[in-house]
Chain A
Amino acid sequence: MLVADQLTFQIGTKTLVQDISFKLSPGQLLVILGANGAGKSTLFHMLSGDKKPSNGKVTLNGKDLKTYTIQEIALMRAVVNQQNTMNMAFTAHEIVLMGRYPHSLKSSAVRDTEIAFKVMDLTGITYLSHRSYLSLSGGEQQRVQLSRVLAQIWDVENALLLMDEPVSNLDILYQQQTLAIAKKLAERGVMVLAILHDINLASQYADRIIMLKEGRKCYDGPPAHVLLSANIDDVFNIQADIFTNPITQKSFFIPKDITIDLD
């Protein structure tokens, strides 16, 4: 279980995240939505341990995040980062294997390779195995990074998977695939938290959605309860028509045109 307890983050007099609390249980896929600057990334970095909260605390599987060593954390949580820059020409396969580094004491090279091949097959990048990361397109690089992250928690129980805009560079097939994988992992008992921009993707895959506005949590619940026209107008300041997919019964949104006056 991941527990955010009254998390607050301040820089100078500016409060980026204020008093956010929630619990994430194994098996759940939680999506964080919010406009630019709503505090999504700051909240994310506090949950991943990259930023220390000014107030409040994060608890992972019953223990304060601060009391873990970074090796211990690496054994149970993996992070898909928004930005990855590399200048060294590692192959896709080598990078995926790096996801197994935290396990090197207990795992074997054979097992690591087996897991690497499995996740690469899952994300559809097997054909990129021996290509240099630097020669890949943005979307391919993102899938390699996703595979590395999956390899890290592949055989971990009650793992935590944090994803910061995991589909930003992906085409529609791989957007769907990435979230379908996240959903499957959640079904296997992983706690998944993802920051997304696409409301329809959130509606399609999330078990639960938290919407942030100006650093605060305003809405929290299953997609059907949270994703209402009024709430979306409140959080994103945009009018949208809401429809129901007749097959899945899930809502989807089409924004209304906005008027731009160039003069």
Chain B
Amino acid sequence: MVRKNALIYFVLIVVLVVASGFSMGMGAVKIPFTDVMIVLAQKIGLFGNHIVPDQFRGVLDIVRIPRVLLGIIVGAALGISGTAIQGIFRNPLAEPGLIGISAGASLMAVIIIVLELSIFASLSNLLGYYLLAFGAFAGAGIAALLVYQISRSDGRSNVATMLLAGIAINALAGALTGLLTYVADDQQLRNITFWMLGSLAGATWETVMAVTPFIIIPVLLLPRMGKALNAFALGEVQASQLGLKVNVIKRNVVVLATMGVGASVAVSGIIGFIGLLVPHIIRLIMGVDNRHVLPASAIFGALMLTLADMVCRTIVAPIELPIGVITALLGTPVFLYILIKDKRKLVL
């Protein structure tokens, strides 16, 4: 079992590296895979003297590398946060987008976009991104707490109420966001649309730098909660009978997961269904033990988003599809499949 899981991690990482390399080579300027790898190797100090055309180097450095990197960290955050949130809600259908966490984050982001320009000169500086990330984090946290409190009765979360509360919060956030679009100017309007559809097009080294700390923390800390989340699956009372401080765990996991989701939304808008799709597939491959599902979801989330981004940049080139469209197209059927397959088993 241990060996099998080690092999799965290894394969996932290799596929992620190869997929990233291909993704960096694709676009208006085609760059051979080997050149991409040489430039990447030189960035970390290997193969000092291979020659790669300056044009390739420039495109990679300014456009492709930050974009693919952003996809990797955002995907990792969404994957692992999805798993963690499902663990806390004790339900495989809890997904940040569905239950309103992403909408809460994006609403806060939109509020900041519309209101902040009087405070900061522009959002393109690092401070502006940090402000956005914090705002989105707060919005995500508030939405998560709301849904959690509403859906809980007798110490367990009620799935039907959880999903309905998600609908309500999505609707509310949608309405408020809609309201803000009325007072927004053209540039703000474009920013807001970007947030609602989800896209990695805003990737620069600055955005990568801005979100990395917010995502590194949950990606490193959440896997340590694997055992606790396993016990949580038994029930909150049962987990506490096994000696777990249920409230502390809940708070830590929600803070870490919303930090990841909030930061992702701040730089790439709402990219739905990754948090649903990724844990589901990982559980099919590795079983449901959160000690493995959490780290594997981070890697697989990074891979999924890298692939989705590759598709949305190339499928109707030179036009670029919003990545949220691709993930929703892939994710909705899986969501429906889980619903149909488990409709008798899920405790509503």
| Stretch in contact with the other chain, from A52-60, A77-85, A205-213, A236-244 | A77-85
One of B20-28, B240-248, B317-325 at the interface: B240-248
Distance (whole angstroms) from the CB of B92 to the closest CB of chain A: 6
Q: B35-43, B165-173, B203-211, B228-236: which one contacts chain A?
A: B228-236
Q: Is A71 an interface position by the 8 A CB rule? A: yes
B240, B241, B244, B347: the one contacting A87 at CB < 8 Å is: B347
Q: B252 near A: Cβ within 8 Å? A: no
Q: Considering only CB atoms and an 8 Å cut-off, how many residues of chain B contact the other chain?
A: 27
* A99 (CB) vs chain B CBs: closest residue: B242
Q: Which of A27-35, A88-96, A182-190, A249-257 contacts B (4 or more CB under 8 A)?
A: A88-96
Chain B residue at smallest Cβ distance from A94: B289
Q: How many Å from the CB of B236 to the closest CB on chain A?
A: 10
Q: Given the complex, which residues of B lie within 8 Å of A90, measured CB to CB? A: 230, 233, 288-289
Q: Report which of B235, B245, B287 forms a contact with A70, defined as CB distance below 8 A.
A: B245
Smallest CB gap from B284: residue in A = A89
CA distance A99 to B237 in the complex (A): 14
Interface status of A8 (Cβ within 8 A of chain B)? no
B283 at the interface (CB under 8 A from A): yes
Separation of A126 and B63 alpha carbons in the complex (Å): 56
Does the CB pair B237–A81 fall under 8 Å? Answer: yes
Q: How many residues of A contact B (CB 8 A)?
A: 29
A48 to chain B: closest CB distance in Å?
Answer: 7
* B3 at interface by CB-CB < 8 Å: no
Q: Is the CB of A84 within 8 A of B243?
A: no
Question: Is A119 positioned at the interface, with any CB of B under 8 Å from its CB?
Answer: no
| C-alpha spacing A85/B244, complex, angstroms | 18
Does A47 make an interface contact (CB < 8 A)?
no
Does chain A have a CB within 8 A of B50?
A: no
Complex: A74 Cα to B243 Cα, angstroms: 5
Beta-carbon nearest neighbor of B159 in chain A = A87
**CB-defined contacts of B230 to chain A, threshold 8 Å:** 90, 94, 98, 101
**Closest A-chain residue to B283, C-beta based?**
A89
A128 contacts partner chain B, Cβ-Cβ < 8 Å: no
Task: Report the minimal beta-carbon distance from B343 to chain A, rounded to whole angstroms.
Answer: 12
Residue from A78, A86, A91 in contact with B234 in the complex, judged by beta carbons closer than 8 Å? A86
Residue A1, interface by CB 8 Å: no
* Residues in A whose Cβ lies below 8 Å from that of B242: 74, 98-99, 101-102, 152
List A contacts of B238 (CB < 8 A).
79, 81, 84
Q: Is the CB of A91 within 8 A of B233?
A: no
What chain B residues lie within 8 Å of A104 (beta carbons)? 227
Given that A87-B90, A87-B159 are contacting pairs, would A75 and B243 also be in contact in the complex, using a CB cutoff of 8 Å?
yes
Decide if B4 is an interface residue (CB 8 Å cutoff). Answer: no
Q: Are B231 and A74 in contact (CB under 8 A)?
A: no
Given contacts A50-B237, A81-B237, are A89 and B231 in contact (CB under 8 A)? no
Is B91 in contact with chain A by the CB < 8 A criterion? yes
**B346 in contact (CB, < 8 A):** yes
Given contacts A94-B230, A98-B242, A152-B242, contact A84 B90 (CB under 8 A): no
For this complex, 27 residue pairs linking A to B, each with C-beta atoms less than 8 Å apart, are: A48-B241, A50-B237, A71-B243, A74-B241, A74-B242, A74-B243, A78-B241, A79-B241, A81-B235, A81-B237, A81-B238, A86-B90, A86-B234, A87-B90, A87-B233, A87-B347, A88-B92, A89-B288, A90-B233, A90-B288, A94-B287, A94-B289, A98-B234, A101-B242, A101-B243, A102-B243, A134-B345
Inter-chain pairs besides A91-B287, A98-B231, 16 sampled, C-beta below 8 Å? A74-B243, A78-B241, A81-B235, A81-B237, A84-B235, A84-B238, A86-B233, A87-B346, A87-B347, A90-B230, A90-B233, A94-B289, A101-B243, A102-B243, A104-B227, A134-B345
| Residues of B bordering A, CB below 8 Å | 90-92, 156, 159, 227, 230-231, 233-235, 237-238, 240-245, 283, 287-289, 342, 345-347
10 pairs of A and B residues whose beta carbons are closest in the complex: A74-B243, A71-B243, A88-B233, A102-B243, A85-B347, A79-B241, A87-B91, A101-B242, A134-B345, A88-B288
